[in-house]
Amino acid sequence: MKKIFLSLLLLSTQRISAQNFPEIQTFTLKNGLRVFLLPFGQIPSCSVQLLVNCGRKNETPGQQDYSQLAADCLGFGTAKYNQTQLQSALFRLGTSLQANAGEQFTSIQAAFSEKQLAEGLSVFSEAVLHPAFPEKDIKQSISQLIDFNNPDKMDISDQASVFSNFWLFGAGSPLGRYFYKDQLMKVTADSLREFYQFNFTPRNSRLLLCGHFDAAAVQKMVEQYFGPWTAEFGEVNGVVLDRPVISKKEYAFIPHQGAVQCALEWMKMGPDPTSKDLLAFRAANQIFNDVIFKEIREKGGKTYGISSSYSVAQASPVIRINTMVRNEEMYNTIRLFDTTLQQFYARGITDAELKNAKTTLRNNWTMIQEPEAVMGFFNPLLFPRADLRKNYLQLVDGLTADEVNKAIKKYLNPDSYKLLIAGDENALASSLQHLPGLIRFHAKDIQVNQ
Amino acid sequence: MKKISGFLAALLLSLPGFAQTTAFGYPTFTQTLTNGLKVVVCEKKDNPLVECEVWYRTGSKDEWDGVRGMAHMFEHMMFRGSRNYPGDGDVFIDSLESFGGQVNAYTTFDRTVYHETIPADKLMNVLKMEADRMGNLTLSQQTLDVERQVVGQELRNGQSNWFQRMQNQVYDHLYPEGHPYRVDVIGYLPQIVNFTTTQCQSFYDKFYAPNNAVLVLVGNVDHADAFAKAQEAFGPITKQLPPPPPVLAPDLYSDTLHQQEYSVDFPVQIYGYIIPKPAATDSDFFAFLLLKDLLFDNENSLLRTKLIDSLQLVYALQNGSDDWSLYPNLCQEYFIMPAAPGNVKVKKIIAAEINNILDDGIDETRIADYLDNLKARELKAAYNVENIASQLGMAEMYFHDFNQYARMREKMETLHSADLQRVAKKYFDPARLRVVNIKPSY
């Protein structure tokens, strides 16, 4: 009786009070593909992600959007499956291929039940390693890109995003160049295939599996399906891009006829993703994000949403503050932003703000529930040392107000930013004249090869 | 063995009354407080979080002329402070985020849901906040003045999106007078920016009460402890609402065929295919849902495969409506195509696919594949406490029984081609079809 009572007690009180880091196993195939196994959770399911060190940063002039087009082609079929068959095979397995190219890398993901993992890896590897690059599907994709991304017609928030990059990085940088019709019409299956073959190589990629699985069995599956992957090219050496410099306040405008409101995008330069300032800055930016939300939305009622974002996941050092406001509120919002940033820069953070920021940063791990988020947290292209990643919570807990205040002084200077405005020129005319040195963009400005 | 059985029986009898089952494989319990608040607790103890959701059986369907957009506007006001949680700004968001919670809410025609994902040891904090805003919300003119500007901005954000602008135009002509879904959830801007605290208070008094809500808790909780906490937090709220009067929604099915032409300021054309569909409690609902998914919406649907993948006549197929509704609703499917040539070929292919179903039904293999996909998705959904809570809440909302969370799949597993054929004949009748042609305006 005693034993049963005790065991009943144990069952009734068993809790997991902290999110445990997975015990990561890694190995490298003979072809150079590095593989990471991240056991996580009890649900009999496994997510798979191939990360390729290829993104917009790799696009030479004339290759705008090649990284995303190449990623899209992975879903267009292979020698073994046409597009419909590939889609059906994945559908029956309860998944689809999620292929997305960002600035720095491309991610291809799918998720399978544990008992269907072998079949799933067979289909997944077939799709990512043997794409057929069918001309017809590529042309259709390009046609849609052209229609949906007409710089005269796209929504103002998209316009702001496109032209802010163009302005910040310049047409000389792959991150500043944007695709346009004449350039896209020259894309062929062969040119995409060449881009894929150069960049999608075992040595230039990482394979992650996360979920519930038998590690030994999974290792054998990976060897079977990814072992034969060969490539003419090896690892693509690091692409070094010039870091933009923003040394004063600058204003630019892109017109959108008939817009009922305007989009505002402020840009500043934050730390490089490998900088030791990174965590302190993220805390600073989190606090700043809360401050501008409170001042501009909660108190000011100027907007439905405003946020200051800095993308660790995309390894981008650019701080972007985005919002949309009514045309008649444009200038007031800019002034309110200036005041808010000046006051924030001058005052230093409070203990409560530091505590909240640390809680939010801690949540980046403790609130994770799904394998996809675990893989994102341990992304080996962003965080080559998984063992250091496990120190994340200690690093957050160890952050001091002094470090965060220093990050504010270094990166959130109120006297320098670039502000891009997208909206109706007539409706904004009287406000725009207040902005000194305003640069006026036109849709055709992005139609450059270099 | 007898002694052990006796001990176990004594242990069980000592706990407060509850009903036990499982959901997604996790032990799930329910209890209703004396004030009518139903509490559902699902014990998923494999991570340190709890999802807390309060589902109110109110939405834009409950609005009246002059306060269009109030249900959604009110959702915003619910974050702005209550008697025991006063302050400026988004008081609830600030409090919850200070201890690591993620918080949000949404409003539809039928329901308003306030949901938080929090560390498990903060459950009582959240329950007290939820209870206080259920029973003691404070409404100030100053806060309302700010928040109605914010909601006005949210509406304008929608107008800044080309697809939303197009859909807003079409929406104005979709429903007959008196239908609960006649006005979109966001409402009308001229009314929103003139809402008064009296109007807000009236809405609150009419629809926010424990016997018009369900509390769903999923995660690292013990049910007995959770029930006790819920009782402590919500028990003192005595406000009760009378049973709602029945709403006789105008019959959507008796509308005759008509066609509308619209324009869109974007370089595409769109063909809108709009069909009346049954309410969630209708015996045809799941068969209709399955047919609709197989024909239009799922990644492997008949029309996606043909029009997008094979023939490449269409760029995208967009579903423009909620699947689940208390009243018969309209299913809106938008085919987005290049601006030229015209849409005749696409229309013919859609008509041909539907006629194939009417004549021959659907290949049983397609149904089997769909069910395999559904089961796999359900498996993966169980990682996330918010997914589980959402399913339980939906089952409570539409069937008054969280055990029905798996009802969709269970019902669909009984369906065959002949069932879908019958439903196609009933709902895809060309006489009931509405078509909208949307051409680029330049």
H, E, C per residue of B134-176 = HHCECCCHHHHHHHHHHHHHHHHHHHCCHHHHHHHHHHCCCCC
pLDDT of residue B22: 86
Two structure tokens written together for A151: 């710089």
B258 forms bridges with which residues in the sheet?
B434
SS3 for A114?
Answer: helix
Question: Among A214, A221, A109, which residue's Cα sits nearest to residue B380?
Answer: A109
Q: How far apart are CA A167 and CA A161, in angstroms?
A: 10
CATH class of B258-440: alpha beta
What is B17-234's CATH number?
Answer: 3.30.830.10
Closest B-chain CA to A13: B222
The answer, yes or no, to whether residue B2 has pLDDT greater than 60, is no
Report yes or no: A45 at the B interface, CB cutoff 8 Å.
yes
pLDDT grade, residue A333 (50/70/90)? very high
Long-range contacts: B341-349, Cβ < 8 Å, 24+?
Answer: B342/B269, B343/B269, B343/B271, B343/B437, B345/B313, B346/B271, B346/B307, B346/B313, B346/B314, B347/B271, B347/B435, B349/B303, B349/B306, B349/B307, B349/B311, B349/B313
pLDDT tens track for B171-194:
888 888 889 999 999 999 999 989
B163 vs B277: CA distance, rounded Å: 23
| A2 CB within 8 Å of a chain B CB | no
CA pair distance A156, A134, nearest whole angstrom: 33
* Residues on chain A touching B376 (C-beta within 8 angstroms): 93-95, 112-113, 116
In the predicted model, is pLDDT for residue A236 greater than 80? no
Res. A19: pLDDT tops 80: no
Looking at residues A136-146, what average pLDDT do you find?
94
- Asked whether residue A1 carries a pLDDT value surpassing 70, the answer given is no
DSSP A169-220: H-TTSTTT----HHHHTT--HHHHHHHHHHH--GGGEEEEEEES--HHHHHH
How many helices (H) and strands (E) are present in chain A, helices listed first?
Answer: 17, 12
3 state SS of B383: coil
Rg (CA), chain B: 24
Please say whether the beta carbons of A196 and A167 come within 8 A. Answer: no
Q: Is residue B233's pLDDT more than 70?
A: yes
**pLDDT over 80 (residue B6):** no
Averaged pLDDT for residues A169-184: 93
Mutate to test the interface with B, among A369, A370, A375 (most CBs of B within 10 A): A369
At which residue do the structure tokens 């409506």 appear?
B321
Segment (H or E) for B375: helix B364-381
**In the structure encoding, which two tokens stand for residue B241, read together?**
């609402």
CA distances from A44 to A112, A247, B259 (A): 9, 53, 50
Instruction: Give percent of chain B above pLDDT 90.
Output: 69
Dist CA B232 CA A382 (whole Å): 47
- Residue A17: the pLDDT is 44
- The CA distances from residue A398 to A364, A395, A401, in Å, are 16, 5, 10
Distance CA B346, CA A24 (A): 51
pLDDT of residue A20: 85
Structure token digits, residue B437: 């042609």
Q: Is the pLDDT of residue B168 over 80?
A: yes
Of B161, B267, B268, the CB nearest to A155: B161
Q: In the numeric block, which tokens belong to residue B49?
A: 């979080």
Over residues A330-352, the mean pLDDT reads: 96
Cα angle at B212 between B209 and B215, to 5 degrees? 90
The answer on pLDDT for A11 being more than 50 is no
Helix (H, G, I), strand (E, B) or coil at B214: strand
Which chain A residues are Cβ-neighbours of B299 within 8 angstroms?
Answer: 87, 91, 96
Burial class (CB in 10 A: 0-12, 13-18, 19+), B86: exposed
Give me the mean pLDDT over the A125-141 stretch: 96
- Asked whether residue B11 carries a pLDDT value surpassing 50, the answer given is no
Across the interface, whether the CB atoms of B376 and A43 are under 8 A apart is answered no
Determine the pLDDT at residue B255: 63
The least confident of A56-60, A380-384, B195-199, B338-342 is: B338-342
Nearest neighbour of A95 by CB, restricted to B117, B369, B376: B376
Greatest mean pLDDT among A230-239, A256-265, A407-416, B397-406:
A407-416
Within 10 angstroms of residue A38's Cβ, the number of other Cβ atoms is 24
pLDDT in tens, A69-121: 999 999 999 999 999 999 999 999 999 999 999 999 999 999 999 999 999 99
> pLDDT grade, residue B19 (50/70/90)?
low
Mean per-residue pLDDT, B55-69: 95
Start-to-end CA span in chain A (Å): 81
- pLDDT at residue B116 tops 70: yes
Sequence-separated (6 or more) residues with CB below 8 Å from residue B98: A352, A355, A356, A359
Q: What is the pLDDT of residue A384?
A: 86
Q: How much is the pLDDT for B8?
A: 42
The pLDDT mean for chain A works out to: 91
Q: Do domains B17-234 and B258-440 have the same CATH topology?
A: yes
CA A151 → CA A257, B222, B441, distances in Å? 12, 55, 16
Band (pLDDT 50/70/90 cuts) for residue A18 is: low
Answer yes or no: is pLDDT of A296 > 60: yes
CA distance linking residue B193 with residue B152, whole number of Å: 7
The H or E element containing residue B199 is: helix B197-207
Could you report the per-residue pLDDT of B237-276, keeping only the tens digit for each? 999 998 888 778 887 876 654 668 888 888 899 999 998 8
Residues of chain A with pLDDT > 70, as a percent, come to 96
Cβ neighbours around A143 below 10 Å, total? 16
Domains and CATH numbers, chain A: 22-151+165-226 (3.30.830.10), 261-423 (3.30.830.10)
Shortest Cα distance from B387 to chain A (angstroms)? 11
B267 interface with A at CB cutoff 8 Å: yes
Of B49, B315, B379, which is closest to A144 when you measure between CB atoms? B315
Q: What is the average pLDDT value for chain B, to the nearest integer?
A: 90
DSSP assignments along A235-251, one per residue: PPPPP--PPP---SEEE
Read off the pLDDT band of B18 (50, 70, 90).
low
Cross-chain Cβ contact A371/B383 below 8 Å: yes
| CA nearest neighbour of A300 among A320, A267, A323 | A323
| pLDDT surpassing 90 at residue B298 | yes
Question: What residue ranges do the domains of chain B occupy?
Answer: 17-234, 258-440
- As beta bridge partners, residue B42 has B28, B218
Chain A residues inside the 8 Å CB shell of B383: 41, 43, 45, 369-371
